[in-house]
Chain A
Amino acid sequence: MANIDINHLCRLAQLALNDAEHEAVRGDLERIIAMVDQMQAMNTDHVEPLAHPLDANQRLRRDEVTEVVDRERYQLGAPATQDGLYLVPRVVE
């Protein structure tokens, strides 16, 4: 099994773990990956991957505007907004 780079995964997933969590996650992931690695011994030559359980394609609809713009209501659940904008810490100094 490859060495799991927890810091790299946390960066990709936008998670910040403390030291205790970091070690616990490493142990858990090692066991989980060892379990899923049982797959590697199973023969899947010439098997097409199954992405949709009914093998269906995305159903298309008419190209018409159906969405309703109701920004005020949709932003009620946001932690910080002003003038219809989402507020975040300063990005550019």
Chain B
Amino acid sequence: MNEFASIGELARGLRRGDYSSVELVRHYLARIQNNASLNTFISVTEDEALIAAAKADQTLQRGKAGPLTGIPLAHKDIFCTQGIATTCGSRILENWIAPYDATVVARLASAGAVLLGKTNMDEFAMGSSNENSYFGAVLNPWDNSRVPGGSSGGSAAAVAAGLIPIATGTDTGGSIRQPAAFCGVSGIKPTYGRVSRYGMAAFASSLDQAGVIGHDAQDLAVVLSLMSGLDPRDSTSSDHVDSWLESVAESGLQPIDEGLSIGLPGEYFKDLGEGATLLEAAAKELESAGCRLTEISLPHTDAAIPAYYIIAGAEASTNLSRYDGVHFGYRCENPKSLQDLYQRSRSEGFGTEVKRRILTGTYALSVGYFDAYYLKAQKLRRLIQQDFLAAFEQVDLIIAPTTPGVAFHTGDLTGDPVAMYQQDIFTIPASLAGLPALSLPCGFSNGLPIGMQLIGAHFSERQLLETSALYQQRTDWHQHHPEVA
């Protein structure tokens, strides 16, 4: 059994009867156990998985299997799972069990996917290295002394190490794309509103979007197809109708056959070191496949990080006010008063980075500072979005680096939050604009993977995924894997 098989290959193996879903699940459970030192999972749901796999095997025997029936899957531990702990990587939710399933969880379960566990993450999705988890850092499977990226680092590292063929993630400022790049796998953040946020613990509600991490664009398309779409339970989920996306899980992803116009933003390439050559080679590959390359400009790129850390901090400080030591989760010992209960429960329950962001957001929203920070950031957000909208008048897609460099060493940036925040420079602008974007492996620098980011106009996931399929048809970077146990 090839542990790096795509879910397409696994689905064919299941239908041919090469193995049962129960056998597949046992295989991946053993791999998770053998690679526990990578710390990619917060909880492993062996018993529930074997029951779900047996049920999937019955569906397969009746010839009623869909593209995900019996396929092992992991969810980032930010999605609510009924009866299974949902921690968000935080002490404050260490023992919290959700009373309901997130829409993403429910949809993928009803498509027959088998949940093997919940993946490790930066606490409340705040981080770019996975060092901010209460449950310990995740190790990068390519080099255990390096970070896997964050905040969906557990999902990315688990897929890269062949511990799970596909995993969900969430992306607020790059939390799917950056770890996908650092771990050498593919990851998509859809258009804001494409996937329901119901049951996905909120960090920054105007930015948070669920997506998928997997081995190739085909796998991303299948899972996105089955988890996306309007949800009456999320008032920000979009009613945009996309019959292509609805049917692609069944019909399969085809490489794009029209020559697209692709923009290369000068602002993203100016200080790029080791990755520039690889990205240029990737762009040339698409050019030789019939795409046209154009230099473009996104002049407000420098505004992205300041605007993002105000908006995300402000929304986080509001969203995280619900963790009060009363309604759910952790409560401090022997509170002396209600105030003491609130303050100590939150201070003992939240980690350093979460407190830092809550305080940044509180500052930005406090009396006298609102206009100078929050409103200013929202105006810059519009300018950043207008840059993209103008660019998409000119080109169909944008190619950009996903990260400034390869995965950094654990501990390198922990003492310097501003340096850590700069890591998100290339992923944050698309998040602020609500655009779909994905990261694909496009080469290696000193044995470590480099990611190429494709950014599209709102609801252009088809172009993004079909262009990715074209690239992955012509290259094999996505088929390189780390050596793991």
Contact = CB atoms under 8 A, between A and B. Distances in A.
A51 B378 contact: yes
Nearest to A58: B235
Contact of A15 (B307, B359, B433): B359
Instruction: Count chain B CB atoms within 10 A of each CB in A15, A51, A74 and give the residue with the most.
Output: A15
A48 to B, nearest CB: 6
Contacts of B232: 61
A28 B419 CA distance: 11
B237 to A, nearest CB: 8
Interface in A6-21: 6, 8-10, 12-17, 21
Contacts of A36: 306-307, 309-310, 364, 373, 377
A8 B365 CA distance: 13
B23 to A, nearest CB: 35
A32 B417 contact: yes
B186 interface: no
Given A49-B381, A77-B96, A29 B329 contact: no
B343 interface: yes
Interface in A68-86: 70, 73-74, 76-80, 86
A16 to B, nearest CB: 4
Given A39-B380, A49-B382, A78-B326, A15 B355 contact: yes
Contact of B325 (A47, A51, A79): A79
A47 B300 CA distance: 13
Interface stretch (B58-66, B176-184, B255-263, B334-342): B334-342
Contact of A59 (B235, B350, B372): B235
Contacts of B300: 42
A56 B224 CA distance: 22
Contact of A4 (B344, B363, B376): B363
A44 B96 CA distance: 44
B244 interface: no
A78 B385 CA distance: 41
Interface string B231-264: 0100110110000000000000000000000000
Interface string A37-50: 11110101001111
A52 B235 CA distance: 12
A35 interface: yes
Contacts of B364: 36
A42 B192 contact: no
A21 B353 CA distance: 12
Contacts of B460: none
Nearest to B309: A36
Contacts of A39: 303, 306-307, 310, 373, 376-377, 380
Contacts of B350: 15
B359 A6 contact: yes
Contacts of A25: 355-356, 359
A29 B360 contact: yes
Interface string B339-370: 11111101100101001101110111010010
A9 B416 CA distance: 21
B115 interface: no
A30 B271 CA distance: 26
A88 B339 CA distance: 10
A56 B193 contact: yes
A29 B356 contact: yes
Contacts of B43: none
A10 B342 contact: no
Contacts of B383: 42, 44, 47
B376 A54 contact: no
Contacts of B342: 14
A47 B382 contact: yes
B324 interface: yes
Nearest to B435: A53
Contact of B378 (A14, A49, A80): A49
12 contacts: A10-B343, A10-B359, A32-B417, A35-B306, A36-B306, A47-B379, A47-B380, A51-B206, A52-B236, A54-B192, A77-B329, A88-B338
Given A35-B305, A79-B325, A79-B329, 9 more contacts: A12-B362, A13-B317, A36-B306, A36-B364, A42-B303, A44-B380, A53-B192, A74-B99, A89-B336
List 9 A-B pairs, minimum CB-CB distance, nearest first: A53-B434, A49-B378, A79-B331, A44-B379, A50-B382, A16-B343, A77-B328, A36-B306, A47-B379
